[in-house]
Amino acid sequence: MDQSKINVRYAKALFTLAKEKSLTTELRRDAGLITDVCATSIDFNLLLNSPVVKGSNKIKAIKSIFQDKINVLSLNFLILIIENKREKYMPGIFRNLEDLYRQEEGIQKALLTSSQPLNDSIVLQIRQILEKEFKSKVELSQKVNPELIGGFVLRVGDQQYDASIITQLKKIKEQLLETELK
């Protein structure tokens, strides 16, 4: 999570306002869209970070991109960010908004890394086990890393459970080396 003071302050301000207006769900949807655009569009990032492009032109571009796609509150917030010359912080602000939403709703984020893609029924079972264990909703995302050979690595918040074959092989190697040294 990006912890710049500017990112956190702007995110908290927008989240608080959205909460007062009961627009947190819409704000989360908007934040996801804006974060995706920031993450995938090189041209958009060049526009935001360009010292040559005037703020008024950046505002026109933002309006043309997001006008009918996001809530008016989110659009006005984007304009405010540009008017305050904070556009370089936009990706971090919206990442922080997502974290604030998860915190408010009691949602845990989990990452399941495996050597091969897992079928949906297994992922569903893992999600249900995690929700029961943590007594909260869990957003489970998957990642494939063939270097694991087999097994999986599960990360929930700052906790990690490593049941991968590669880690088990490393542990066995360490034990053998330790035994050999004695």
Architecture of 5-103 per CATH?
Orthogonal Bundle (1.10)
- CATH T-level topology, domain 106-181: Glutaredoxin (3.40.30)
Q: Where is 35: in which H helix or E strand?
A: helix 24-40
- Where the chain has pLDDT below 50, the residues are 1-2
Contact 123, 83 (CB under 8 A): no
What's the order of all strands across the beta sheet hosting 137-144? 137-144, 107-114, 151-156, 159-164
- pTM for the model stands at 0.74
* pLDDT, position 8: 94
Domain positions in the chain = 5-103, 106-181
* pLDDT, position 157: 85
DSSP notation for 108-141: EEEEEEESSPPPHHHHHHHHHHHHHHHTSEEEEE
Do 106-181 and 5-103 fall under one CATH topology?
no
Strand ranges, E, within the chain: 107-114, 137-144, 151-156, 159-164
Residues 11, 16, 18, 19, CA torsion sign: positive
Residue pLDDT, tens place only, 111-142? 999 999 999 999 999 999 999 999 999 999 99
Residue pLDDT, tens place only, 160-173? 999 999 999 999 99
